[in-house]
Structure 1
Amino acid sequence: MAQSFLQIPSEVWNHIFTFLPVSDKFCVRATCKYFKKLIDHWSLWKGWSVVLSFRNGPYSNQFWASLRRRKVASVVMRSNKAKHWSQLTQGLPGVSTVVVEGTPRTNFRFLEELPHVKRVAVRSTLLLCDANPAAAAQQLTHLSLCGISLPSKDVFKAALSKFTNLTSLDYHLEPIGPPVSCLQVLVDSLPKLKRLSVCFKRVLLCYDTTEAIHRPAALSSLELVNYMNFSLPTDTMRLLPHLRSLSVYHQLSHTEMDDPEHLGFYLKSWLSDLPQLSSLVDYLQETWRQ
């Protein structure tokens, strides 16, 4: 009777295990070698990310082997030490998504050793980058920059223009004084960009309409977070003819909410220049002045 569970086909067990949360999967995995093998099947770990902190030193070969069996393709890296990045490149050479967070500083050099990475997110750290990053920068299609600090905005803008295959960009930066970039630079430097999210609480964009963008932007989705009225001129959307989705999350003070000019003037002007728009989100968040 004790061996009766072995008579159940592995496909049935795999289906049962799909209903378990991750914590329960680890508990089942620890019961016996048979379940350990079943639990490590890649079909049970789709979309799963592993957090690598290296708090207790390097991870064992068995640890990396289990991740490879599960075909883990997404990691959260919480170390900027070269030896830890080296272990990642050797342990999971096929990783496609990397999130860097919780480190004092980081850069894009790890892309040279991880040729399959397509998505990168950098959060709450100091981003060091060269004006001419490695050719591997062109392999990225998705880049998310949230709460980071930059030592040089000019060097960063030059580096960003090298990511020529980006299709999605989250541009949420910590304040560093003058504007880090402007919408014109982003859409003109990144010709394949389809989705752009900008946080206006941290970055005030400047759009120079006196120098037209060399080509119509390919953007199909634009998200303006913590948007402050008059940050962009009324004719901004004329240069985004392919835009299909627009999301505007307003950041208004109590006094501005009583002024209809602040609430709708710019939005109405924008809509008249967006013939292909099919999705619109206009969210108003009230803030109070101290």
Structure 2
Amino acid sequence: MAALAQLPQEVWLLVLSFLEPKDRAHIRASCQFFRRLADHPCLWRKHTVLLKEGRSFNRGLWRTLRRRRPGAIVIQKATIRALESMSTQLPWLASLTIEQCSDSKVLYNLPRFKNLAELVMVGVPCPPGLADLMASLVRLTNLCLCSLKGDPRAVLLHAAPHLTNLMTLRYHQSDHPLNKRALNTLLSNLPNLKCLSLKMGKLHGTLPDDYFTLPRVNGDRSAAGQQGKCEPVLTRLELLHYMDPILSPVALDHLSSLESLTVFYRQRSVEAHECNLNKWLHKLPCLSELTVMNGYSLGAYVHSVPAMLRTLCLQNVVFGPADLSAIGKRAPGIQHLSVDRRICDGQRSLQEVPVLFHQLRTLQMSYLDMAELDFGSLAQLQHLDQLVILDSHPSCRADLLDQIHKFKCLTDYRVQVVHSERRRDPFICYCCL
């Protein structure tokens, strides 16, 4: 024990920071010295703690959480007593997620969390006066409302004028999108909003062309092309459960400040001529991040991809070698590429990845697609930092594992290779799955 204490605490904390939480727990149980170090706040500030139903919320638990000061807490099927204890024991808490609780009175404890900056509510009934409870959270910068029971739209519209510090809003409610009037009211009352995530649901028809355009009230916002109109200064937009033609081809024309766009289509579509994403991308010159799930084949919008693009994520998207080649020519500066659950068009589409994207820093794909890669060329990418293999498990083919081993040797172990199993993340909103 004396020998352990001879090293500075900073050295041990650095060593522990490289370990997974489960490995850290084993070391923590070895002696009092490591028990104290393993609970140091610097090791936990970026972690999220999940508190499940039936968990014993005793003094020992609260004492450990007070020492660790984790960055966020998710509590499932919360009780009134649990929220009361949490607000008393963890007054510094900045991020709270409440999932699937049946008692609406639980939310009456929200004003007790004075330092709350992020609030996520999933599957929670709306109690009377919820808008006033939310309005008391003056430090709130991130808010997510997902599948709430009651009338969350009215709650949000009533609380919005008091949430002037809000920078991120995720509104994932019902099977129908917000109407233009409701959205305009929200955007007008949230001057600092940068990230907006909406569940679009189903709509027979198309929302107005100026759905994201606000009436000009003062000179604070930048002018759009139309007289009497102004555009919200959003930098990130997420459209979930979307299908054309809910938004028109010109709906995003006044969001020229967008840097990130995510479109999660409800299902695949083969009618490329109906693809509005193709038109939207032409009007987003600052876009650096694009995420698409389902929907059209990549060929429907590949020739509209902005040259500024740095991050591209494709999930359940059909594409071939010609599509990937077109992406490489239009956006050669892509640094982060993720191909998840690719739908094959019968051709080997990924073998040219190292040739097309010289600036890659991270590459993420399923182990089934790894067989198409040219690992020799991949090892020559000077900027590559991380290779993530999705759906990895012990039954991976031996020849692929051998290629990965050779790849590590070729790069002198410079590139971090991560084997990741796909599993439900309890901290991700259900609408994002």
Give the structure 1 partner of residue 140 of structure 2: 140
Give the structure 1 partner of residue 154 of structure 2: 155
Bigger shift: 223-232 or 185-194? 185-194
Q: How far did residue 120 of structure 1 move?
A: 1.3
For residues 99 and 203 of structure 2, the distance between their equivalents in structure 1, rounded to whole angstroms, comes to 20
Q: Is the 8 A contact 1:75 1:97 kept in 2?
A: yes
| 1:219 and 2:218 aligned | no
| 1:192 and 2:204 aligned | no
CA-to-partner distance for each residue in 1:159-184, whole Å, 9 max, x for gaps? 35243321112222243xx5455543
Give the structure 2 partner of residue 237 of structure 1: 252
Q: Which amino acid aligns with 2:274?
A: H
Give the structure 2 partner of residue 90 of structure 1: 88
For residues 203 and 27 of structure 2, the distance between their equivalents in structure 1, rounded to whole angstroms, comes to 47
Q: Which runs of 4+ in 1 moved over 6 A?
A: 202-206
Q: Is the 8 A contact 2:168 2:193 kept in 1?
A: yes
Give the structure 2 partner of residue 80 of structure 1: 78
Q: Which amino acid aligns with 1:69?
A: R
Q: Is the 8 A contact 1:94 1:116 kept in 2?
A: yes
For residues 272 and 15 of structure 1, the distance between their equivalents in structure 2, rounded to whole angstroms, comes to 46
Q: Is the 8 A contact 1:95 1:114 kept in 2?
A: yes
Q: Which amino acid aligns with 1:63?
A: L
For residues 25 and 203 of structure 1, the distance between their equivalents in structure 2, rounded to whole angstroms, comes to 50
Q: Is the 8 A contact 2:131 2:159 kept in 1?
A: no
Q: How far did residue 57 of structure 1 move?
A: 4.5
| 1:63 and 2:73 aligned | no
CA-to-partner distance for each residue in 1:241-276, whole Å, 9 max, x for gaps? 4223223233445xx51x33212xx23443444444
Q: Any idea what SS the aligned residue of 1:63 has?
A: helix
Alignment of 1:2-13 (within 5 A): 3-13=2-12
| 1:262 and 2:274 aligned | yes
Q: How far did residue 33 of structure 1 move?
A: 1.8
Q: How far did residue 72 of structure 1 move?
A: 2.2
For residues 116 and 202 of structure 1, the distance between their equivalents in structure 2, rounded to whole angstroms, comes to 37
For residues 277 and 49 of structure 2, the distance between their equivalents in structure 1, rounded to whole angstroms, comes to 42
Change (3 A) 1:198 1:105: farther
Q: Which amino acid aligns with 2:280?
A: W
Bigger shift: 235-244 or 114-123? 235-244
Give the structure 1 partner of residue 168 of structure 2: 168
Which of the pair has the greater relative contact order for Cα pairs under 8 Å at 6+ separation? 1
Q: Is the 8 A contact 1:48 1:74 kept in 2?
A: yes
CA-to-partner distance for each residue in 1:51-85, whole Å, 9 max, x for gaps? 2336255421x432332222223111224322211
Q: Any idea what SS the aligned residue of 1:249 has?
A: strand
Q: Which amino acid aligns with 2:272?
A: P
Alignment of 1:112-151 (within 5 A): 112-128=111-127, 130=129, 132-134=131-133, 135-146=135-146, 148-151=147-150
For residues 213 and 100 of structure 1, the distance between their equivalents in structure 2, rounded to whole angstroms, comes to 32
For residues 95 and 292 of structure 2, the distance between their equivalents in structure 1, rounded to whole angstroms, comes to 31
In the alignment, structure 2 segments of 5+ residues that lack a partner are 216-229, 297-315, 317-433
How many pairs are equivalent? 277
In the alignment, structure 1 segments of 5+ residues that lack a partner are none
Change (3 A) 1:74 1:247: closer
Q: Is the 8 A contact 1:174 1:202 kept in 2?
A: no
Bigger shift: 189-198 or 178-187? 178-187
Q: How far did residue 230 of structure 1 move?
A: 1.0
Q: How far did residue 111 of structure 1 move?
A: 3.2
Change (3 A) 1:180 1:204: farther
Q: Any idea what SS the aligned residue of 1:35 has?
A: helix
